[in-house]
Structure 1
Amino acid sequence: MDGSTRPNIVLIFMDDLGYGDLGCTGSPLISTPHIDRLAAEGLQMRQMYSTSPTCTPSRAGLLTGRYAQRVGLPRVIFPADPEGLCGWERTIAGVLSDVGYRCGIYGKWHLGARPEHNPLRHGFEEFYGLPYSNDMDPLNLYVNADRIEAAVDQSTLTRRYTDQAMDFISRHADEPFFVYLPHTMPHIPLHVEEDFRGTSRAGTYGDTVECLDHHVGRLVDHVEQLGLAERTLFLVTSDNGPWFEGRTGGLRGRKIDTYEGGIRMPFVARWTGTIQPGRVCDDVRSLLDVFPTLATLAGAQIPDDRPIDGVDMSGLLRGEELPPRPPLYFFSHWHLNAVRDGRWKVHVDRFPTNDLRELPQLFDVVADPEESYNLASLHPEVLDRMLGLVDAFGREIEAQREDAVARARS
C-alpha cells in the first residue's frame, strides 16, 4: 500500500466496558451518541472477541497478534511482578514505526512496570498514562519514563489522555500516525468528571461511560477539523467484559469468564470514504486480528519468525467477503477453557473456579448466544472434533510455555 492510501490510526481501547454498554449495542440507560455516530458512519462488528477475559493478556494479544500464553503474560500482572513484555516481541507500534508512523500511547499500559517494559521500548515515542490498573498501588502517572504525579486525580484522566492524544495528532498531522488510547475507565474504582456526574440513568458507571463517549467525540471532531477524516481509521473496542457493573447485552458471564459476556466485545470502525457507512458484520473475528490488519494497511512487515495468531481482516474493512476465521482459543492463565469454531463453541474448563460439573459443554452460539443449552449429547461428532482442537492447541501452547515464561521474566 502506497503512502497516499495508508491511513492514520486511532485505536480507542476501553477498560472493562461491556458488550451492551453502548447505545449502538442496545444500552437502554447509557447514552453514547459519539461512538454511535462512528458506528453509523462505519462498521459495527457483532462477533468480535477479546484475546482474554482479563487486562494484561488481553493487551498482550491485541498489541502482538499472539496469544498471551505465547508471550508469557497469561495473567494479570502487578506492580512488583518481574514479568512484562520483552524486547523480542513485536508490537503494532513497533512494526508501524518501522514504516514511518509516529506512535503515541495515552492511557493504561499494563504490560510490565519495570523500565525495560516501558512503552518507549516497544515502538512508541510518547507515553502519557498509568503503568497498570487504577486499583493497584502505588498509582503513579507517567510521562515517558518519568513519574509526574503520585496523588493521581483519576476524575481527570479521561480528559487528560484525550488532550494529549489531540496534541500528538496536531503535531503530526502531516505524517502517518498511530494513536493508542487505552482508557483507564470504566475499570473500578470509578472516577468521573463532575460535569458528568448524574448525567446517565446507570449510576456512576453510566456517567463514566458517557464521559468517555464525550471525549471520543472531542477527538473525532479534532481529527475532522484538521481535515484528516478520510485519512484516519478509528477503532473503538474494549479489553474484556464488565466486572461488577456494566451490561453484557444478555450474554452469559462477565470479566474473568470465558463465556460470551467475558470475551465478546463491542467493536466499531470508521474510515470515511473507505468503510461503507452503516455496515453491520457478523463474521467471527478477534482482537488478535488487529495487529496483522493494521500492519497490512500501513504497508508494514508482519514478523515471519514466530507464530502470529491474528488473521488479516483489512479486506473486510473494504467490504470484501473473507473466508471463515480459523478457530479461536480462550484461556484463563494457562488453562484452555473454551474454543470457538464457526457456529460452535466448546467449554472444557471454568478456571479460575474449580467447578467442572456438566463439562464439556457444546453451544451453538449463533442460535444460542446466551450459551443456555448444552448440545453435546445431540452432536457427538461436533463435540469430538472440537475436543480434538482443544487437545492439539493445548499441547502446542504447553510445549512453548517454558520459553515464553523465560522471555517475560528476562
Structure 2
Amino acid sequence: MTSSPRPNIVLIFMDDMGYGDLGCTGSPLISTPHIDRLAAEGLQLTQMYSTSPTCTPSRASLLTGRYAQRVGLPRVIFPEDREGLSTWERTIADVLGEVGYRCGIYGKWHLGARPEHNPTRHGFDEYYGLPYSNDMDPLHLHVGADRIEGPVDQSSLTRRYTDEAMDFISRHADEPFFVYLPHTMPHIPLHVEESFRGTSRAGTYGDTIECLDHHVGRLVRHVEELGLSENTLFLLTSDNGPWFEGRTGGRRGRKIDTYEGGIRMPFIARWTGRIAPGTVSESVQSFLDIFPTLASLAGAPVPQDRPIDGADMTELLLGGTPTERGPLYFFSHWHLNAVRDGRWKLHVDRFPTKDLRELPQLFDVETDVEESYNLADLYPDVLEHMLGLVETFGGEIEAGRAEAEARALA
C-alpha cells in the first residue's frame, strides 16, 4: 500500500455521550475495550470543550472552526426549519477536498434538511445517514440526496454506518481520505442490536455504548488490516453532554447546560508512530481547534476572509509544547452563558432557564471541576477581567448577528 505523507483522518463523533461513559474515563458499569485501546495507544485530552451543549451548534463549530453564532446556527434545527449551513461557509471537507482528500460522512448531519444543506453540497463526496436527530419526524435514511428508507431500522444504524465507512476506506485506500462518522446513538430514543441487549451493567444506555465500542473496534481493525494504521489519525469524541441517562464523571450539569457536564467532552486521538502512546494532557482545547488542526496536517489553506475561532493543536497532538489557548465562550442560542480563561470560568446566564440567582458565578475549574463554590466575591479583579471578556466578545457576536442569520436562511 502506497504511503502518503498526509494522514488519513477518521473522526468518530458520538451523540449525547457523557464524559464518564467510557472505561478510560472512569465508567464502572460500561465496558469499552476498543475505545480504551485507542486511548492507551494515543492521547487523551481531559479538557476538551464543545462550544455548545446541544446538537446543531456543536456540529457547526466542529466542521467550520467558527462559533455557531457566526454561522447563524445557534440552536437545534428541526425538520421544518428553513435554516441550514450556508454554502458560503467552508467545512473541513471543503478544505480537505481542495487538496485531494476524498471525504465521506456516515451518520447524523443536523445542519439543515433542505436540498441546499445536504452534506454533498458542503465538500463531502458521499453521504449515508440521517438528516437530523432520531427523535424527529419524518425520519428517513439518506444516500446523498435520496431517501432510501423510512421508517428507519434504528437498531442497525451503528453497524450500517460502520459498514459504509469501512467500504469507503477500502475504495480509497490509495489516496488520502477523511471519514466523518457522527453516530446517531446514544441520543434517545435508544436503539441497539439485539445481540448487545443486556451486555452492560448500565441498562439499555450502557448496552448502546458497548455496541458503539464494538463497531469502533471493527473500524480500527479494518484500517489496520489494510496496512493504513501508521498513516491514519483517529479522533473520537461526543457532541455534548448526556441527556437523560449517562455519566458526566461528577461534573455539574448535563446536555443543555453550559456547566462542565454539558460541554466538557471525552477526546481521544491515535496516530500510530506519531502520537506517543498513553499520553494524557490537561491542555484546554475546543472543537473549534479541530478544523485548523486537520487543515494544517493535510497542508490545506485555512480561509482568510472570515474569523476562524480555532487554534492549530498539531504541536499538542505530536508531543510538542501546546500553544496557550485564548478564552473560550459558551453559548445557548444567542445567549453568552459562560466564558473560560485559563483556570477561571465565569457564568453570567443560564439560558434557557430563567433562574438567574447567584449570578455571576466564578469558578476555579482546575480545583473545583464540579463548579460548586462561587469565588466571585473573593476575586474581584478576576471577575472584572472576565466580565470584560463577556462584554467584548458578546458585542462582537451581536454585531454580526443579522448577517449570520441571513446567511443561514439564504
TM-score scaled by length of structure 2: 0.99
Other-structure match for 1:377:
377
Counterparts of 1:155-166 in structure 2, within 5 Å, are 155-166=155-166
How many angstroms apart in 2 are the aligned matches of 1:9 and 1:342? 30
Query: 1:94 and 1:336 mapped to 2: Cα distance?
Result: 29
Could you tell me how far 1:151 is from its partner in structure 2? Answer: 1.2
Partner Cα distance (2:364, 2:304) in 1: 34
- CA displacement, residues 303-322 of structure 1 (integer Å, 9 cap, x when unaligned): 00000000000111110112
Give the structure 1 partner of residue 65 of structure 2. Answer: 65
CA distance in 1, matches of 2:268, 2:210: 16
- What per-residue deviation string (whole Å, max 9, x for no partner) do you get for residues 99-139 of structure 1? 00000000000000000000000000000000000000000
Which amino acid counterpart does residue 287 of structure 1 have in structure 2?
Answer: F
Aligned residues of 2:99 and 2:300 also touching (Cα < 8 A): yes
Per the TM alignment, residue 390 of structure 1 is displaced from its structure 2 partner at its CA by: 0.2
Name the SS of the counterpart of 1:108 in structure 2: coil
Mapped partners of 2:348, 2:40: distance in 1:
38
2-side partners of 1:4 and 1:110: how far apart? 32
The answer to whether structure 1 residue 404 and structure 2 residue 401 are counterparts is: no
Amino acid at match of 2:291: F
Whole-angstrom CA distance in 2 between matches of 1:309 and 1:94: 17
Residue 217 (structure 1) aligns with: 217
2:140 aligns with: 140
Corresponding residue of 1:329: 329
Matches within 5 A, 1:220-231: 220-231=220-231
Structure 1 residue identity aligned to 2:98: D
Q: Which amino acid aligns with 1:371?
A: E
Deviation per CA, 1:280-327: give whole Å up to 9, x if none.
000000011000000000000100000000000011111011232000
SS in 2 for 1:284: strand
Task: Tell me how far apart the structure 1 counterparts of residues 104 and 5 of structure 2 sit (CA, whole Å).
Answer: 21
Q: Identity of aligned pairs, percent?
A: 82
TM-score by length of 1: 0.99
Give the distance between the partners of 1:68 and 1:159, measured in 2 at CA. Answer: 30
Q: How does 1:184-199 map to 2 (within 5 A)?
A: 184-199=184-199
Equivalent residue, structure 1, for 2:240 = 240
SS state at 2:400 partner: helix
User: Structure 1, unaligned stretches of length 5 or more?
Assistant: none
The alpha-carbon deviation at position 397 of structure 1 amounts to 0.1
1:259 equivalent in structure 2? 259
Distance 1:112 1:201 in 2: 36
1:175 corresponding residue in structure 2: 175
| Structure 1 counterpart of 2:124 | 124
Deviations 1:155-207 (A, max 9, x none): 00000000000000000000000000000000000000000000000000000
User: 1: CA distance between counterparts of 2:279 and 2:323?
Assistant: 18
Q: Work out the CA distance in 1 between the residues paired with 2:408 and 2:227.
A: 42
Q: Tell me the equivalent position of 2:305.
A: 305
Q: Distance in 1 between matches of 2:393 and 2:36?
A: 37
Q: Distance in 2 between matches of 1:6 and 1:17?
A: 30
Residues 225-249 of structure 1 show CA distances to partners (whole Å, capped at 9, x for unaligned) of 0000000000000000000000000
Q: Structure 1 residue 83 and structure 2 residue 83: aligned?
A: yes
Q: How many residue pairs were aligned?
A: 408
Counterpart AA for 1:292: P
Q: Give secondary structure in 2 for the equivalent of 1:282.
A: strand
> Counterparts of 1:323 and 1:112 in 2: how far apart (Å)?
34
Distance apart, 1:4 and its partner CA: 3.2
Instruction: Tell me the C-alpha RMSD between the 2 structures.
Output: 0.6
Q: Which residue identity is paired with 2:236?
A: V
* Per-residue deviation, 1:74: 0.1
Q: After TM superposition, where is structure 1 displaced by more than 3 Å over at least 4 residues in a row?
A: none
- Code of the residue aligned with 1:23 in structure 2: it is G
Cα deviation for residue 51 of structure 1 reads: 1.5
The unaligned stretches of length 5 or more in structure 2 are none
CA contact (8 A) 2:4 2:175 kept: no
**SS of match in other structure, 2:142:** strand
